[in-house]
Amino acid sequence: MKRGETIDKKEMAFLEAEKSRWKAVLTRLTAIVHSLAVRNLALRGHREKLFSPSNGNFLKEVELMAQFDPIMKEHINRVQKETSSHISYFSHHIHNELIDLLSSEIISAMVADIKQSKFFSIILDCTPEISHNEQLSVVVRFVSLEGKPHIMERFMGFLEAEESTGQHLASMILKRLEELKIPFMDCRGRSYDNGANMKGKNKGVQSRLLEMNPRALFVPCGAHSLNLVVVDAAKESINATSYFGILQKLYLFTASTQRWAILKKHVNITLKMWSDTRWESKIKSVEPLRYQTAAVRDALIEVRDHTKDSAIKVEAQSPAEGVGSYRLAICSVVWYDLLCQIQHVGKQMQSPSMQFDVATNLLKKTERVLCGYRATGFVAAQMAAKDICEQMNMDAVLNQKRLRSTKRHFSY
């Protein structure tokens, strides 16, 4: 025993060697899973067999590593020789388990960082996923004390919301913080959208959580609040629904390569889909009509004249008439000016390092600019729209829409 020459000495040495080998193999497999997960790449393919054409990114990475790494090469050789009984750790069950372990470690590190800084704020938003289930995203904002203090925002995962009531969402938030062992009493700020179930004064999430922690102040989402200011400023003179409805019709170019080639021949700025979530992102869809209205109209006319499909002729004729009108030219100028005012502010409001005083000054400045534009901007927009009509050889005249007449009966 003192000399270490017991009868099972060789067996113990073999077990230690096997332990070290499996540790080295799992270290490499974990590194592959981590690399693919960071780049949002799919791990699995149609088959789970080595050296198969469609076995997915994970097994392809294993095959590539085996060409240069002797440990992985030896492991693959053992797997191929003993296909019936040898453990490979290449199955999708192992993938999922490794992902869960990595996720747990990452969340633990983030929670430790949050606890070190003590105070934090939470950002919440509900979004339906592709399977039409409502998901609540949870983001924690805090001051990280690692190195130089700096503001951090950490995504803590999705919560599936079975109900969208304020009581149910509030209980989900508290339950998630309890699972992470983060005390809600250390919360000093909350930010949601402007929905009634979130910001409601009586039954909303903000009022229910404020009763539990009076120091967890509620701050409305800056992007949503800024969007409401822009919409209110524009709706007084422009029907947003009809204008963006015409923009939506312009995407007939994307359904055909021939029509897309016609569009590229006329314009330098391609048409962009407009977003449903942020109004400031719609500037990319308005920009072609603001600066290349005549070119877009020429492209629509060429599509109408060269297509043999009667349905496409109608789809091209309707937006061509709308694009060539003085009314839509004014809409394009006004919307582009408004969206330009808020684009820079909207990007700054989304910065993790944004400070309250700076954000307040930006919003007040933007509000003053929009109020000034409401008073004097329409005249300048008319002048710019007249220049657009001159480029298209169109009359700059606002045609009055025919009012719908309603028959009045004697009993009314």
pLDDT value at residue 25? 92
User: Of all helices (H) and strands (E), which one includes residue 159?
Assistant: strand 150-160
Q: What is the pLDDT of residue 237?
A: 42
The sign one gets for the Cα dihedral 281, 282, 285, 286 is: negative
Whole-prediction pTM? 0.57
C-alpha 250/C-alpha 269 separation (Å) is 13
Confidence at residue 234, expressed as pLDDT on a 0 to 100 scale: 46
- For the CA atoms of 379, 381, 382, 386, the dihedral, rounded to the nearest 10 degrees, stands at 150
To the nearest 5 percent, what fractions of the chain are helix, strand and coil? 60, 10, 30
Contact at 8 Å (CB) between 142 and 113? yes
Q: What letter would DSSP give residue 255? A: G
Q: How far from 149 is each of 57, 109, 145, 156, CA to CA, in Å?
A: 38, 17, 5, 21
Strands (E), 171-325: 187-192, 217-220
Give the C-alpha separation, 262 to 253, whole Å.
8
Helices (H) and strands (E) in the chain, counts: 15, 5
Give CB contacts under 8 A, 24+ apart, made by 368-372.
Answer: 369/341, 370/229, 370/230, 370/233, 370/338, 370/341, 371/233
Task: Pull the structure tokens for residue 111.
Answer: 């929670």
Which residue reads 């102040």 in tokens?
Answer: 217
Are β-strands 187-192 and 120-128 bridged in parallel, bridged antiparallel, or unpaired? parallel
The pLDDT of residue 291 is 85
- Which H or E run includes 304? helix 293-306
Site of tokens 């939470």: 122
Torsion angle of C-alpha atoms 322, 323, 327, 332, degrees rounded to 10: 130
Domain ranges of the chain: 9-90, 115-219, 226-391
Cα first-last separation, the chain: 111
CA distance 154 to 352: 10
Q: How far is CA 279 from CA 104, 285, 342, in A?
A: 36, 11, 9
Please say whether the beta carbons of 62 and 72 come within 8 A. Answer: yes
Please compute Rg for the chain using Cα positions. 31
- Is 32 in a helix, a strand, or coil? helix
pLDDT tens digits for 168-214? 888 888 898 998 899 999 999 888 876 777 777 777 788 888 888 88
With vertex at residue 21, the alpha carbon angle to CA 107 and CA 38, rounded to the nearest 5 degrees, is: 30
Nearest one of 109, 169, 93, 195 to 144, comparing CA atoms: 109
Across 328-339, b (16+ Cβ under 10 Å) vs e yields bbbbbbbbbbbb
The CA distance from 140 to 155, in Å, is 7
Cα gap 185→140, rounded to integer Å:
14
Task: Report the alpha-carbon angle 331-337-340, nearest 5.
Answer: 130
Q: Are 357 and 393 in contact (CB under 8 A)?
A: no
Q: Mapping DSSP to helix (H, G, I), strand (E, B) and coil, where does residue 306 land?
A: helix
Which tokens is 329 given? 């030219």
CA–CA separation, 160 and 334 (whole Å): 40
The pLDDT value given to residue 337: 86
- Reply yes or no on domain 115-219 having CATH 3.90.190: no
pLDDT reported for residue 233: 45
How do residues 306-320 score in pLDDT, each as one tens digit? Answer: 887 888 888 888 777
pLDDT value at residue 293: 82
| DSSP-derived 3-state class of residue 355 | coil
What pLDDT is stored for residue 236 in this prediction?
43
pLDDT by residue, tens only, the chain of 412 residues: 777 677 787 788 888 888 999 999 999 999 999 999 888 898 888 888 888 888 889 999 999 999 999 999 998 888 888 765 668 888 888 888 999 999 899 999 999 999 999 899 998 887 777 777 888 888 999 998 888 888 888 988 888 888 878 888 888 888 989 988 999 999 998 888 767 777 777 777 888 888 888 888 888 765 555 555 444 444 444 455 577 777 777 777 777 778 878 888 888 776 666 665 566 667 777 887 788 888 888 888 888 888 878 888 888 887 777 777 888 888 888 888 888 888 778 778 777 777 888 888 888 888 888 888 888 888 888 888 888 888 888 777 776 665 566 666 666 5
